[in-house]
Amino acid sequence: MTRIDAKFAALRRERKKAFVSYVMAGDPDFDTSLALVKGLPAAGVDIIELGLPFTDPMADGSTIQLAGQRALESGMTLDRTLELTRRFREGDNTTPIVMMGYYNPIYSRGVDRFLEQAKVAGIDGLIIVDLPPEEDDELCIPAQAAGLNFIRLATPTTDDKRLPKVLQNTSGFVYYVSITGITGAAEAQAADVGPEVARIKSQTDLPVIVGFGIRTPDASQAIAGVADGCVVGSAIVAELANGKPVSDVLAFVKSLSDGAHRA
């Protein structure tokens, strides 16, 4: 059982929905990012999604693209991202961390070497947005064999014919993208999301977590209310981009997690 599996089992016992936060590793710099990540569990975050900075993101809106640029300009690399995870694990051995990003840096490192390093650092799962199910032998199957969850994205355009393929080797949870398009582009609507979550859950026992377009505590509550939890990313990253101190960003995160946990 991975930390992700254990977390969802605990949430089910507590009858609580999951709150997942996304932050870009190294934004705006290593020390600030580490302080933020260390503070997330106390702010009510159940699972941390840690963005791996990459020069050519495809699924990210301008907010997260700029966060990645800031991180890269501050010297963030794959090695430094793993180092940040190791530093976090020195004080927290229970909160799951999911690395979210693109395949190129992993391919460049070499899959076997990367998976060994990620496991040692304390990474629990991967979301690699540019690897479709047809490429499962590339990373998904080796990751699962190494004890990491491989989390797949389902979207409003994932029809009933495609969905079984998406779910085939997914583990940990299913990430449902609530809107078509890039991160931060539109607002998620619970009335639209609910039926789609039900459709996915009819074909899998995995938790379904909804992300994209969630910016407020009320939205966090509404979306978590029709799913197993929600993810907030761009709204949190924007607080950092606006120069807010870590304490203020964490207070904002707490308001969002409170919303999800009220669902």
Residue 79: CB atoms within 10 Å? 11
As a whole number of angstroms, the distance between CA 184 and CA 186 comes to 6
Q: Which of 5, 27, 46, 60 is catalytic?
A: 60
Contact partners, residue 25, CB within 8 Å, separation at least 6: 33, 37, 50, 51, 52, 53, 71, 76, 80, 81, 84
Q: Which of 27, 49, 124, 136 is catalytic?
A: 49
C-beta separation of 133 from 152 below 8 A: yes
C-beta separation of 184 from 64 below 8 A: yes
Query: Is 60 one of the catalytic residues?
Result: yes
As a whole number of angstroms, the distance between CA 237 and CA 149 comes to 25
As a whole number of angstroms, the distance between CA 113 and CA 111 comes to 6
User: What distance lies between CA 224 and its chain's CA centroid?
Assistant: 15
Where in 152-207 does DSSP place strands (E)?
Answer: 153-154, 174-177
260: amino acid identity, one letter: A
Rounded to 10 deg, the angle between the 30-39 and 78-89 helix axes is 40
Query: Is 137 one of the catalytic residues?
Result: no
Q: Which residues are known to be catalytic?
A: 49, 60
